[in-house]
Amino acid sequence: MSNTMKALVKAKPQPGLWMEQREVPQIGADDVLIRINKTGICGTDIHIWNWDEWAQKTVPTGLVTGHEFAGEIVDMGRNVSGLSMGQRCSGEGHLIGKTSRQSRAGKFHLDPETRGIGVNEQGAFAQYLRLPAFNVVPLPDDISDDIGAILDPLGNAVHTALSFNLLCEDVLITGAGPIGIMAAAVARHAGARNVVITDINPDRLALAAQVTDVVPVNVLEEDLADVIARLKMRQGFDVGLEMSGSQAALDQMVEAMVMGGRIALLGIPPGKSPVDWSRIVFKAITLKGVYGREIFETWYKMIAMLQNGLDVSRVITHRFGVDDFEAGFDAMRSGSSGKVVLDWTGG
């Protein structure tokens, strides 16, 4: 194995990423070295590419970016057990601490010391990744590397969708990005009665209808009150999954909920937003903020669902060799793609 590798690096404090030769990471006693086969491009990676205000405050220049991946273990530290050389895997990209109350209680996804690969620590847009063995998620043979590379965002969708009981419920999803579309597929798989997804992007709505049995609604053309009547829902939606980060979408969702409705929020608004709290109070609505995945319960759930018929393969709309990474980012930045996967196996 060569001592150097290709890596996509935030090399300069300006828009873009740059391909560089980097040293292969050295692993510690509790780490594994993963040879990367496929990576997914995330919305977070687009923020880093664009070098927006959040990225400037958060991401150090010189960082290898990327956090959605699938690969295989090629080296293991001396303390690692339960894994094997050549084992296919993905992994949890949140690196947790061990001292907080939340972590010591096993609520790892709530640990305030969490750091993210590809955001705070060296990431997966590279031929090799060092990862704590604790974070490794083995991939069953019936889950491909393409799907393995998007388990991180699928986990966000699963965590959000399974925040509330969905069986026989009417579900509204605002935001038909890749995670919103996957949440719709999860809701349908979990037994929801009606699943409606809203957006103003016709390409994304068309993709949602291709991926799963969902009612796509362009809110520029159709009112949700008319959709509720058309679907013969007496009062409105039981569960809302807010994936867009749009204040207007959240306002529409609140109005479309039943009394006592439940809303899980994954979308992040671009700044502070005015909220009509009296409307939420008088409708007795429960709000839950969602961050990342429940480590590792969400991983178990989504792998089980994938093995039991959940199909999100069509949410991947573009595949590129890593040398064409700029085309991959252009596709993702267009706002019309689903998930974009980069192939690192070509050399």
Instruction: Cite the active site residues.
Output: 44, 47
Same domain, 8 and 146: yes
- Mean pLDDT of all residues belonging to the chain: 96
Higher model confidence: residue 274 or residue 311? 311
* 162 and 237 fall within a common domain: yes
Give the pLDDT confidence of 232-250 residue by residue, as tens digits.
998 999 999 999 999 999 9
| Residue 294 in domain | no
Is 114 a residue whose pLDDT tops 90? yes
Asked whether residue 114 falls in the same domain as residue 166, the answer is no
The answer to the question of residue 301 being in a domain is no
> Is residue 123 domain-shared with residue 142, that is, in the same domain?
yes
270 and 330 share a domain?
Answer: no
Please give the tally of structural domains in the chain.
2
Residue 1: band (very low, low, confident or very high) from pLDDT cuts 50, 70, 90: low
Give me the helix-helix angle, 178-189 and 151-161, nearest 10°. Answer: 60
Task: For residues 56 and 172, state if they share a domain.
Answer: no
pLDDT at 275: 87
Please, which pLDDT band fits residue 347 given cuts at 50, 70 and 90? low
Say yes or no: 192 and 171 in one domain: yes
Q: pLDDT by residue (tens digit) across 115-129?
A: 999 999 999 999 999
Supply the CATH number for residue 12's domain: 3.90.180.10
Confidence (pTM)? 0.95
Which of 284, 33, 308, 83 lies closest to 190, judged by CA?
Answer: 308
Tell me whether residue 193 is in a domain: yes
For residue 266, is it within any domain?
Answer: yes
pLDDT (0 to 100) of residue 271: 80
pLDDT over 70 at 139, yes or no? yes
Question: What distances in angstroms separate CA 126 from CA 4, 96, 122, 314, 343, one per listed residue?
Answer: 10, 22, 9, 25, 11
Report d(CA 210, CA 250) in Å as an integer.
25
- Are residues 111 and 211 part of one domain? no
Residue type, 98: K
User: Which range marks the domain in which residue 230 is found?
Assistant: 157-289
Q: What is the pLDDT of residue 126?
A: 98
As a whole number, mean pLDDT of residues 282-293 equals 96
Question: Within this chain, do residues 168 and 285 fall inside the same structural domain, yes or no?
Answer: yes
Residue 295's pLDDT is what? 95
User: Are residues 254 and 324 located together in one domain of the fold?
Assistant: no
What percent of the chain shows pLDDT beyond 90? 95
**Looking at residue 88, what is its pLDDT?**
98
**pLDDT over threshold 70, residue 51:** yes
- Residue 272: predicted pLDDT: 83
Distances (CA, A) of 215 to 179, 210, 252: 16, 11, 16
Amino acid at position 285, single letter: I
Q: Is pLDDT above 90 for 268?
A: no
Is 296 within the bounds of a domain?
no
